[in-house]
C-alpha cells in the first residue's frame, strides 16, 4: 500500500501581504538604527554631544595689541602754512617754531650799480642765542610813500641760519629815487638747537685784489665799475664727506656798512674729511672801498 504525499499548504493572498509588510518593517528598522535616524537615538547623540561640549573649557579670546592711536573728538588740528612737519613733530605737544622776532632785516642802503641804476643792500641777522633758523624765508615790501616799489630779492637765504650770522640781501628792479619804508614778513620756520646739523667747514680768505672792469650797454653806452677778486680756500673739518658748498660773501667799508655782496655755489669737488680746495669769486663794489670781507657758508653732508 503506497503512502500518499500530502501537498504543501498554500498561503492565502492576505497572508502573503502581511508577510511582506513584516519584512519591510524589519528592514526599515534596521536601516534607521544603522544611520541613527530613530528619535531616541538622535536624542541620545545630542545629549552626548552637549555633555562633551560642556566638559571642554572655552579657549580665551586673543587680546588685541596695544595701539598708539588716540582718537579725539573734535580733533584739534594743527595747520602751519609753508612748513612740512614730521609725524613726530605733529604728535609732540612741546613742538615750537622758530621765533620770527629773532630775525631782523637791517635798514637797507641805497646804492647805484654799474649802469647807475639804484639797488638796496641789507642784511638778515639771527639774533637768537639758542636756536638755529631752518630754511628761513621772507617777503620784502618796499614803499616810496604810498607807492610800492617792484623790487626782487636776488638770492635766497641759507637752509640753516645760525645765531649771530649776517646774510647779505640784494634788492633791485624799479628805478627809484628814494624809499620811505621797508617791511619784512617772515614765513613760519622750524628751529634746531645748537650745535645743529651743518657740516663743519673752514672758510679762509687768502688774499683780495681790487680792480676796475668795463662793459658796454646796448652797444653804445660804455661804463666802468669796481670789483674785488676774492681768493680763498674751503677745508672739510668734519668727519663726513661734504658737497654742495654755498657761500654768501659781503664787502664792508670803513664804517662797517655793506658796499657789495654776492651769493655763489662753489665749484669745488666733494671733500672728504681733512681735504681742502681753493676758490675765487669776483664781487662788484657799489659803495666805498672795502675794509673787510665777511663769509657765511652752507653745505650738504653725504
DSSP assignment of the chain: -PPPPPPPPPPPHHHHHHHHHHHHHHHHHHHHHHHT-SHHHHHHHHHHHHHHHHHSPPPPPPPPPP------SS------TT-PPPHHHHH-TT-----GGGEEEPPPEEEE-TTS-EEEEEEEEE--SSEEEES--EEEEEEETTEEE-EEESSPPPSEE-TT-EEEEEEEES--S---EEEEEEPP-EEEETT-SPPPEEEEEEEEEEEEEEEEETTTEEEEEEEEEEEEEEEE-SSS-EEEEEEEEEEE-TTS-EEEEEEEE-----B-TT-EEEEEEEEEE-SS---EEEEEEEEEE-
- Torsions phi, psi of 168, nearest 5? -70, 145
pLDDT at residue number 88: 82
Residues 36 and 21: their CA atoms lie apart, in Å, by: 22
Which carries the bigger pLDDT value, residue 77 or residue 134? 134
Lowest mean pLDDT among 21-35, 54-68, 280-294: 21-35
* Per-residue model confidence (pLDDT) at position 1: 43
- At 145-160, the pLDDT tens digits run 999 999 999 999 999 9
pLDDT tens-place string over residues 213-248: 998 888 788 889 999 999 999 999 999 999 999 999
pLDDT at 4 over 70: no
pLDDT of residue 123: 97
Question: C-alpha grid cell for residue 166?
Answer: 649776517
Residue 79 has a pLDDT of: 61
The bridge status of strand 160-161 relative to strand 118-126 is unpaired
Q: Which residues pair with 201 in a beta bridge?
A: 236
Give yes or no for a contact between 123 and 165, defined as CB atoms under 8 angstroms apart: no
pTM: 0.72
**Residue 18: phi, psi to the nearest 5?**
-65, -40
Asked if residues 233 and 198 have their Cβ atoms less than 8 Å apart, the reply is no
The 3 state secondary structure assigned to 233-271 is EEEECCCCCEEEEEEEEEEECCCCCEEEEEEEECCCCCE
108: nearest Cα among 293, 250, 258: 258
Mean pLDDT over 51-76 rounds to 64
Check residue 2 and give its pLDDT. Answer: 43
Per-residue model confidence (pLDDT) at position 95:
86
Look at the block and give the residue holding cell 592711536: 69
What is the pLDDT averaged over residues 261-270? 95
pLDDT above 50 (res 3): no
The C-alpha R_g of the chain, in whole angstroms, comes to 47
Q: With a cut of 80, say whether residue 212 has pLDDT above it.
A: yes
Tell me the sheet residues that pair with 141: 183
Averaged pLDDT for residues 174-189: 94
Alpha carbons 257 and 288: distance in angstroms, whole number = 9
Give the pLDDT of residue 296: 96
pLDDT above 60 for 44: no
Q: Tell me, what's the pLDDT at 250?
A: 97
pLDDT at 202 over 70: yes
- In terms of Cβ atoms closer than 10 Å to its own Cβ (0-12, 13-18, 19+), residue 153 is middle
Q: So what's the pLDDT on residue 82? A: 72
Among 177, 195, 135, 140, smallest CA distance to 159 is for: 135
Confidence (pLDDT) at 32:
54
Q: Provide the mean pLDDT of the chain.
A: 84
Amino acid at each position: 500500500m503506497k503512502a500518499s504525499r500530502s501537498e504543501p499548504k498554500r498561503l492565502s493572498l492576505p497572508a502573503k501581504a502581511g508577510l511582506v509588510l513584516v519584512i519591510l518593517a524589519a528592514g526599515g528598522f534596521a536601516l534607521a538604527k544603522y544611520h541613527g535616524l530613530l528619535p531616541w537615538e538622535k536624542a541620545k547623540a545630542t545629549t552626548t554631544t552637549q555633555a562633551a561640549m560642556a566638559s571642554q573649557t572655552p579657549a580665551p579670546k586673543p587680546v588685541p595689541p596695544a595701539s598708539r592711536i588716540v582718537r579725539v573728538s573734535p580733533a584739534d588740528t594743527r595747520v602751519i602754512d609753508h612748513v612740512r612737519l614730521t609725524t613726530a613733530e605733529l604728535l609732540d605737544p612741546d613742538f615750537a617754531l622758530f621765533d620770527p622776532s629773532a630775525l631782523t632785516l637791517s635798514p637797507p642802503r641805497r646804492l647805484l650799480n654799474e649802469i647807475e641804476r639804484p639797488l638796496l643792500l641789507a642784511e638778515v641777522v639771527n639774533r637768537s642765542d639758542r636756536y638755529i633758523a631752518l630754511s628761513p624765508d621772507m617777503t620784502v615790501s618796499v614803499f616810496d610813500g604810498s607807492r610800492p616799489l617792484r623790487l626782487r630779492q636776488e638770492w635766497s637765504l641759507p637752509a640753516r641760519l645760525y645765531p649771530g650770522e649776517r646774510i647779505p640781501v640784494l634788492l633791485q628792479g624799479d628805478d627809484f629815487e628814494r624809499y620811505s619804508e621797508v617791511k619784512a614778513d617772515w614765513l613760519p620756520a622750524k628751529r634746531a638747537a645748537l650745535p645743529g646739523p651743518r657740516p663743519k667747514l673752514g672758510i679762509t680768505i687768502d688774499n683780495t685784489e681790487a680792480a676796475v672792469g668795463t662793459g658796454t650797454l646796448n652797444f653804445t653806452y660804455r661804463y666802468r665799475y669796481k670789483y674785488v677778486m676774492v681768493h680763498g680756500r674751503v677745508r672739510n673739518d668734519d668727519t663726513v664727506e661734504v658737497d654742495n658748498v654755498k657761500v654768501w660773501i659781503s664787502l664792508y667799508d670803513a664804517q662797517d656798512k655793506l658796499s657789495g655782496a654776492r651769493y655763489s655755489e662753489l665749484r669745488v669737488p666733494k671733500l672728504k674729511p681733512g681735504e681742502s680746495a681753493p676758490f675765487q669769486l669776483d664781487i662788484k663794489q657799489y659803495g666805498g672801498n672795502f675794509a673787510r670781507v665777511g663769509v657765511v657758508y652752507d653745505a650738504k653732508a653725504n
